[in-house]
Structure 1
Amino acid sequence: MRSIIIASTSTVFGGKPLDYLLDELKIHFKDSDDILFIPYARPGGISHNEYTEKIKKPFKSIGKKVKGIHEFKDPIEAIKQAKGIYVGGGNTFVLVSELYRNKCLNAIKEAINNGTPYLGTSAGSNICGLTMNTTNDMPIVYPPSFKTLGFVPFNINPHYLDPIIGSKHMGETRETRIKEFHQFNTQPVIGLREGSYLEIKGKDIVLKGSLKARIFEYEKEPYEIETNTSLNNFK
């Protein structure tokens, strides 16, 4: 059975990495003492080793060991043998480029569909949608394709921000950008606010966390859904 957590972010409001998710991760990875970490997104341009070392700390606090995929000679085999997989945040263009370069996308999809528990945050959550086209990141590299894992039948916008009333900022809001996306694409988009996540068990998709999510459907007005709402209607 598929077991997936798609989280908007790893760190909420100045907290420590993954601290708001640790209780949930104890359950999510209960049968996985060793976690395969995929650091390809490289937030801030840090190295794979630096990123992996940062991630080891929160997982150590719940009794889990972490090893980066870059430490294995064969990344595809590492994915096949993994007992749990975590894809971290950073730049989605870099992440997707590296996943394609190392031929990892299909291997990840197969592993998760066969029951390996998956955690994705930020860029690692963005790739769970049908495409990466609703990322917030700069296109600093050019991946072979924008098509991603398709664990859910919609796109995801992590770190979704609401317009600030009275702001003098002249740039586009997230809502404006997603409306632009829908001029050329028809799949729904889920705006995940910080601290919110989607939990997938088998075929069931449920919004979790303390905040609502904003839903954008093609040729419809955006609307809000409450936490613990099922998203199975998008199937």
Structure 2
Amino acid sequence: MMEDNLLLLSNSKTHNMEFLEHAREALIDFLDGRRTIYFAPYAAATSAYDSYTATIQTAFKPLDVTVTGLHTVDQPALALRDAEVLFVGGGNSFRLLKTLQQLDVLNVVRERVTRGELRYIGSSAGTNMSCPSLRTTNDMPIVQPASFASFGLIPFQINPHYQDPPINSTHMGETREKRILEFLEENDVPVVGLREGSWLRKRGAHLRLDGLTAARIFRRHTEPQEYQPGSALSWLLTLPAIFDQRL
């Protein structure tokens, strides 16, 4: 039986490292010999699609992998019916989701990933899209999607680029932790605060945290907990996502 495979990166660029360098071994393992990827650059401005795709192509060139920008094909939904791997990149999550809705690719990706026919790589906003909703993004809503419901490849939420409050900071605004706790006031859904340099790898019913840093997991009525790289987090896959998907 084929299993769904997801690689969900907090970020693509890590300080003092080349694009995707921090996750190169994880990418090799994830691709498992596959040599073609479709890249969705839709979280970026339309004018940046080509340059963003070129950056991804350069990053995958040492792996002997061919990257095709999904924006260059006439019928993206049709192309994804035969694709082996989809990489959804970072940028603005609201813009990304709105474009994915307009292209009518949400269902085909969800169905093929769930059946184990399409492997999914997400980074930043692309990782946010793997969740049931974009509601734990860090981004400003520069456009308005038809709804907040995204791919729903996992039953919990992720906050990519999670940051701890700076020590001795005089900033009086809400911290990232405070924003996530506000989310939990309205939604009974776990949130993984995925710090820079870290990722989640899902293989069927198994979920593992890997990368350079620990993750912080938030649950309603529970103190946030720290999990180190190498931690098994499969229990997150058994929890229902409880909120109204129409929003």
Does the pair score TM above 0.5?
A: yes
Separation in 1, partners of 2:144, 2:32:
37
Q: Which runs of 4+ in 1 moved over 2 A?
A: none
In 2, Cα distance between equivalents of 1:74 and 1:134 = 30
State the SS of the aligned residue for 2:182.
Answer: helix
Partner SS, residue 6 of structure 2? strand
Q: Distance in 2 between matches of 1:86 and 1:169?
A: 36
> In structure 2, what residue type is equivalent to 1:184?
E
Unaligned runs of 5+ in 2: 239-247
Q: Distance in 1 between matches of 2:49 and 2:145?
A: 19
Is the counterpart of residue 67 in structure 1 residue 68 in structure 2?
yes
What residue ranges of structure 1 are gaps of 5+ in the alignment? none
Separation in structure 2 between the aligned mates of residue 169 and residue 63 of structure 1, nearest angstrom = 46
2:165 is the alignment partner of 1:163: yes
Deviations 1:144-184 (A, max 9, x none): 11111222221000000001120111221100100111121
State how far apart, in whole Å, the 1-side matches of 2:92 and 2:60 are: 22
After the TM superposition, which residues 45-194 of structure 1 pair with which residues of structure 2 at under 5 Å, given as runs? 46-115=47-116, 116-194=118-196
Deviation at 1:103, TM superposition (A): 0.7
Mapped to 2, the partners of 1:134 and 1:152 lie a distance apart of: 14
Residue 114 of structure 1, CA deviation: 2.6
Q: TM-score, normalised by structure 1?
A: 0.96
Q: State how far apart, in whole Å, the 1-side matches of 2:38 and 2:30 are.
A: 14
Q: C-alpha distance in 1, partners of 2:158/2:92?
A: 15
**Alignment length (residue pairs):** 234
How much identity, in percent, do the aligned residues show?
40
Q: Distance in 2 between matches of 1:46 and 1:10?
A: 20
Instruction: Give secondary structure in 1 for the equivalent of 2:144.
Output: coil
Distance 1:113 1:32 in 2: 18
Aligned mates of 1:220, 1:30 — CA distance in 2: 38
- Alpha-carbon distance between aligned partners in 1 of 2:74 and 2:115, rounded to the nearest angstrom: 23
Q: Aligned letter for 1:229?
A: S
Whichever residue aligns with residue 136 of structure 1, its letter is N
Contact 2:106-2:150 at 8 Å conserved across structures: yes
Report deviation, 1:46.
4.7
Q: Which residue of 1 aligns with 2:245?
A: none
SS of residue paired to 2:112: helix
Instruction: Please tell me whether the aligned partners of residues 96 and 125 of structure 2 are also in contact (alpha carbons under 8 angstroms).
Output: yes
Deviation at 1:222, TM superposition (A): 1.0
SS at match of 2:13: coil
The residue identity in structure 1 corresponding to 2:222 is K
